[in-house]
């Protein structure tokens, strides 16, 4: 009877445990013009590392909590570091999934295009601002956010994954400007990378993010 109770408790604890995050498969992007297979595969491996570290850190934190060690320096350091790993995972997923759209174009009659014109004056002005944001010195991300409170689009610079995100705003278009995203194919020529990025934006995905119709 005692063994049965222990087994039942173990099963219950497992059923209540959160599922680990799983790396998504973005191999369909291989062959995308302007991005070599070597560069993409290296980038996928780096992304998979963020997924692995996110799961590892969550497991470590749970272990500390189960042992009553939440107020230790070790717990505090892992807790602080979790945002870096988690955001690195999510930003890469958003980045890869808004690529692979060679031939798709933003709909000039659509809500996103109209909001771009309203907030930036023109599509060209928005694109210039987006690229200039990507030319800032340092490593990071360029994110086109929609602030649902003010209904306003903002091009933001996100450095270090977890620094610079606009709270409550929805990320619509993400461009990786860490050196691993472009050095293999373009060296230090960021602008050439930006042009390749824009040539491959999946505007169907971006516009669905804007409308809120993209599934989880």
Q: What is the CA radius of gyration of the chain?
A: 21
Q: What integer pLDDT is reported at residue 1 of this predicted model?
A: 47
Alpha-carbon torsion 65, 68, 74, 79, what sign?
A: positive
Average pLDDT over every residue of 26-41: 98
pLDDT at 12 over 80: no
Q: What integer pLDDT is reported at residue 46 of this predicted model?
A: 98
Cα separation of the two ends of the chain: 44
* Of 8-12, 50-54, 210-214, highest mean pLDDT: 50-54
**Looking at per-residue confidence, does 26 or 213 come out higher?**
26
Pick from 36, 45, 26: nearest CA to 187: 36
Domain architecture of the chain: domains with CATH? 111-211 (3.55.40.20)
Q: What integer pLDDT is reported at residue 98 of this predicted model?
A: 98
Cβ count within 10 A of residue 135: 11
Spatial neighbors of 178 by CB under 8 A, at least 6 apart, are 139, 140, 141
Pick from 61, 58, 52: nearest CA to 88: 52
Average pLDDT of the residues of the chain: 92
Q: Scanning the structure block, which residue is given the tokens 């903002």?
A: 154
**What proportion of the chain, given as a percentage, has pLDDT over 70?**
90
Contact assessment for residue 107 and residue 207, using Cβ atoms and an 8 Å cutoff: yes
pLDDT at 203 over 50: yes
Distance CA 21, CA 54 (A): 8
Q: What integer pLDDT is reported at residue 213 of this predicted model?
A: 65
pLDDT bin (cut points 50, 70, 90) of residue 108 is: very high
Q: What integer pLDDT is reported at residue 18 of this predicted model?
A: 83
Chain segment 123-144, per-residue pLDDT in tens:
999 999 999 999 999 999 999 9
Q: Where are the alpha helices (DSSP H) in 67-162?
A: 73-97, 111-120, 123-134
Average pLDDT over every residue of 7-30: 72
Average pLDDT over every residue of 35-39: 98
Pick from 64, 56, 57, 52: nearest CA to 78: 57
């Amino acid at each position: 009877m005692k063994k049965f109770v222990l087994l039942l408790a173990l099963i219950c604890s497992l059923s209540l445990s959160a599922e680990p995050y799983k790396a998504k498969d973005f191999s369909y992007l291989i062959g995308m013009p302007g991005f070599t297979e070597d560069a993409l595969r290296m980038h996928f491996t780096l992304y998979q590392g963020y997924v692995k570290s996110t799961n590892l850190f969550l497991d470590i934190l749970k272990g500390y909590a189960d042992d009553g060690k939440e107020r230790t320096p070790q717990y505090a350091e892992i807790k602080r570091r979790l945002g870096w790993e988690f955001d690195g995972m999510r930003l890469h997923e958003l980045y890869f999934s808004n690529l692979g759209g060679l031939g798709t174009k933003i709909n000039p009659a659509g809500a996103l295009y109209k909001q771009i014109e309203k907030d930036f004056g023109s599509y060209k002005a928005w694109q210039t601002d987006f690229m200039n944001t990507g030319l800032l010195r340092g490593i990071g991300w360029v994110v086109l956010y929609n602030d649902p409170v003010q209904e306003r689009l903002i091009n933001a610079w996100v450095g270090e994954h977890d620094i610079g995100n606009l709270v409550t705003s929805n990320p619509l278009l993400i461009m990786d400007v860490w050196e691993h995203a472009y050095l293999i194919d373009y060296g230090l020529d960021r602008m050439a990378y930006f042009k390749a990025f824009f040539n491959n934006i999946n505007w169907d995905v971006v516009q669905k993010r804007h409308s809120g119709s993209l599934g989880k």
